[in-house]
Amino acid sequence: MIAPYEPWTPALLPESAAHWPLVARRGEESSLVRVGDAVFGGEQFVVIGGPCSVESAYQIDRAAAGVASSGGLVLRGGAFKPRTNPYAFAGLGWEGVDLLAAAGRRYGLPVVSEVMAVDQVERMAQSIDMLQVGARNMQNFDLLRAVGRSQRPVLLKRGMSATLDELLCAAEYIVNEGNSRVVLCERGIRSFDTSTRNTLDLGAIVVLRERTHLPIIVDPSHAVGVRRWIPPLCRAAQAVGAHGLMLEVHPDPEAALCDRDQALDLEDFATVMESLALTRR
Ligand code: PEP
Ligand code: MN
């Protein structure tokens, strides 16, 4: 007979757990990470929605309105964007941070945005409710320590070629500085197969649920990179035990300055939320 996935027992931790004692699972409950009205790690399935980058006051206002009215609980929007192409739009910087914070306040949504450098952390933490460490910075250890010293919850994305052990070590850096409010995010890893932008590793969710008490969400947008492939993977993430999702949502995807092909429009987002039985009534 196959041993039950739940309840968890300490015997299921690998030897490498010695490297991440603070984030290792200790009991059956996951830890709860509260961001505004959203609580990651418990009964709630928390959906974060919003554009890849904040582009204008109008764009982020429309995105926020759509996310809020469909039951999204957190608004996202990049202001400092890590772009592979050095000439691509890299965000509005502090102006984008201010526009995001204002839109969040207007619609009662807490906001999350990526912090790229140690010297951005303090200022970002003044108006942004949750600090995102992106895939490309998962092993920027100085940045991990800096967000660990801040009082804000952290969304830590898995590096594009990081093992789960390395992801847990990265989370340990943050928690070890005194900030235990960390949410992990699987966003696809680089594999031999280029059919999708990255390869969504849903297997990571079952393993992480067993090994760590930290909440785990899935970002299918960056994982597949193609709009029409996102809805079924949202349902799959929910089925496999993720605590929530991060989705790129844009009021006019064709006009998006960043990650256009994977952006859901407001109607798509509403449909996805309905399919997850999350629509606010
Ligand atoms: C993002 O979420 O805006 C982003 C850049 O994602 P990732 O770090 O996973 O590539
Ligand atoms: Mn993006």
11-40 per-position pLDDT tens digit: 889 999 999 999 999 988 899 999 999 999
> Quick check: CB of 222 below 6 Å from ligand 1?
yes
The yes-or-no verdict on residue 280 having pLDDT over 80 is: no
pLDDT tens-digit series, residues 115-162? 999 999 999 999 999 999 999 999 999 999 999 999 999 999 999 999
How many CA within 13 A on the CB side of residue 93? 0
Kindly indicate the confidence band of residue 10, based on its pLDDT and cuts at 50, 70 and 90: confident
Cα dist. 178→150, 171, 181 in Å?
Answer: 9, 11, 9
pLDDT confidence bin for 263, thresholds 50/70/90: very high
Q: How far is the CA of 83 from the centre of ligand 1 (A)?
A: 10
Instruction: Give the Å distances, CA to CA, from 2 to 5, 6, 29.
Output: 9, 11, 22
Task: Give pLDDT, residue 281.
Answer: 44
Q: How close is the Cα of 260 to the center of ligand 1, in Å?
A: 14
In the chain, pLDDT over 90 holds for what percent of residues? Answer: 93
Q: Which ligand is nearest to the CA of 184?
A: 1
Ligand 1 touching residue 158 (CB < 6 A): no
Closest C-alpha residue for ligand 1 atom 9: 135
Nearest CA to ligand 1 atom 6: 134
Ligand 1 within 6 A of CB of 114: yes
Question: What tens digit of pLDDT does each residue of 41-72 get?
Answer: 999 999 999 999 999 999 999 999 999 999 99
Is residue 211 pLDDT above 90, yes or no? yes
Q: Which ligand is nearest to the CA of 133?
A: 1
Q: What spacing in Å lies between the alpha carbon of 222 and ligand 2's midpoint? A: 6
Which ligand 1 atom is the nearest neighbour of the CA of 185? 9
- Using a 6 Å cutoff on CB, does residue 135 contact ligand 1? yes
Q: Whose CA is nearest to atom 10 of ligand 1?
A: 135
Sign for the CA dihedral angle at 239, 12, 20, 33 comes to: positive
Give the angle 69-74-76 at the CA atoms, nearest 5°: 105
H/E stretch holding 273 reads helix 266-275
Mutation choice for ligand 1 from 74, 187, 258, CB with most ligand atoms inside 8 A: 187
Ligand closest to CA 221: 2
Q: Does CATH place domain 29-67+95-245+259-268 in 3.20.20.70?
A: yes
33-35 and 38-40 as β-strands: parallel, antiparallel, unpaired?
antiparallel
pTM check: above 0.95: yes
- The answer to whether the CB of 50 is under 6 A from ligand 1 is no
Domain ranges of the chain: 29-67+95-245+259-268
Q: How confident is the model at residue 9 (pLDDT cuts 50, 70, 90)?
A: confident
pLDDT at 106: 98
How many angstroms separate the CA atoms of 249 and 253, rounded?
Answer: 8
